[in-house]
Structure 1
Amino acid sequence: MAESEEINKATKKLEDISLKTDADETEKYVDCDNEIKQNIGKEETLSKISDSSESVSSELKSEDNKQKNTNKEQCDSEEEYFSVGEDDNEDEEEEEEDDVKVEKIDEDEYKRTLEETLSDDEKLERKNKSQECKDEGNKFFRESEFNEAIDKYSEALKICPFAFPKERSIMYSNRGACHMKLENNEEAIKDCSSAIDLHPHYLKAVLRRAELYEKIDKLDEALADYQKAVELDPTQNKARITAMRLADQIKDRNEKMKTEMLGKLKDLGNLVLKPFGLSTDNFQLQQGETGSYSVNFKQN
């Protein structure tokens, strides 16, 4: 009997222990299940955040690309604008140059037309006034005030009527002398040429232009002017001597140019003939009595 009670107590303890163990295991299982659910929830939240971040990033990239495209279009537009502007400026500069030329022609034509309406006394009055300007220019020239002299000669040319070409010729020549002193050789030549056009026998202008041409190494033009000066005044011994010197100088220059040209032609000929085992030495030029040349071949 006692043994039976002990057995029952032991059995009950075992059942209690078993139930407690099952309860603990169930509680652990529930806790584990909740933890798993929480982790799953966190992962879903993180996934949503990641998706949302990617979406925002995509939208930002799209906006950035749009902005870049917009900026590029603006830059292209500005480049096109400035490019067009530069072309327009170039066209405007060319138009301005043409306008200056036309304006000068129109100004001369206007002056000529205006002169037709003037009486002889009015023309004479303007001539006298221009002579006063020229005299002032001469004074500045003697004092080596060449720029001031140029201004006065230019003023005189504006006033002096076209009906007095000889007087205008002197004004051009004097202004050319000022440019010559200032070493504005091209401007000086232009003024001397204008003087000669108005007065072809103006010896001083011819001699001055001859000297200018020689300065800028236009020897042929200089020789022509010196020869013309001798024709106008055979007593111009200095011009005659200079003309002879220039003639020899031009001859030497032409011979030098001829030698250089023949040397270049010979080099070119040798370059062409070399692949055939020949050179220009295989060909000899002989001048006949009539002045014509014949070519003879000479074998090495």
Structure 2
Amino acid sequence: MSNSAALEACERWRLRGNEAYKQDDLSRAEECYTKGVKSVPCNDISESLCLEPLVLCYSNRAAVRMTCKRFRDALGDCLVAATLDPNFLKVRLRAANCHLMLGEVEDAVQYFNKFTESGGYLCLDRKVVLEAADGLQKAKVSLL
């Protein structure tokens, strides 16, 4: 399968996952995102010019796993997504929240700080920015 075909397949699975998520079918959503991730062979990742569908599959699967309270699995997805796209700030926020829920408060503070210090959050939804500020506050309180 060509690189572009793999990414198209990944995008189709992502959209199916989004539909399942909207219908609150979390197991189906996770399955779709996983199929999206698996549709892009590892050797195609480094050659790919547009990894957005793959990054979003990892990030969305992390969101599902967080909803299911599987924070360690979600954190793994966040770290992969952040490696693939270091400028994807929303996944840093998810990673911070995973660390916080796992009791890894210092790591959570580090991720929340990376998120807020990047300045890119100014382009994000106000809700996301407030979530980051709230998470950082919770993490700092936990350190006391």
The TM-score, its normalising length taken from structure 1, stands at 0.40
Which residue matches 2:22?
A: 142
Indicate the structure (1 or 2) with the bigger Cα radius of gyration.
Answer: 1
Which residue matches 1:131?
A: 11
Which residue matches 1:179?
A: 65
Which consecutive residues of structure 1, in runs of 5 or more, have no partner in the other structure? 1-117, 253-300
Do residues 246 (structure 1) and 139 (structure 2) align? yes
Report the alpha carbon displacement of residue 243 of structure 1 after superposing the two structures with TM: 2.5
What is the identity, as a one-letter code, of the residue corresponding to 2:7?
K
Contact persistence 2:6–2:39 (CA under 8 A):
yes
Give the aligned CA root-mean-square deviation in angstroms.
2.0
Q: Residue 196 of structure 1: which of 71, 79, 82 is its match?
A: 82
Contact persistence 2:14–2:56 (CA under 8 A):
no
Which residue matches 1:156?
A: 36
Residue-by-residue CA offset, 1:126-178 (whole Å, 9 max, x unaligned) = 22122111100110011111111111111111213411433321111111111
Do residues 217 (structure 1) and 103 (structure 2) align? yes
Report the alpha carbon displacement of residue 240 of structure 1 after superposing the two structures with TM: 3.6
Report the alpha carbon displacement of residue 249 of structure 1 after superposing the two structures with TM: 3.5
- Structure 2 CA distance for aligned equivalents of residues 137 and 196 of structure 1: 20
The TM-score, its normalising length taken from structure 2, stands at 0.80
Q: How many residues are paired up?
A: 131
What is the identity, as a one-letter code, of the residue corresponding to 1:190?
G
What is the identity, as a one-letter code, of the residue corresponding to 1:166?
E
Q: Residue 93 of structure 2: which of 207, 218, 229 is its match?
A: 207
The percentage of counterpart residues that share the same residue type is 20
1:29-40 matched pairs, under 5 angstroms = none
Q: Pick the structure with more helix per residue.
A: 1
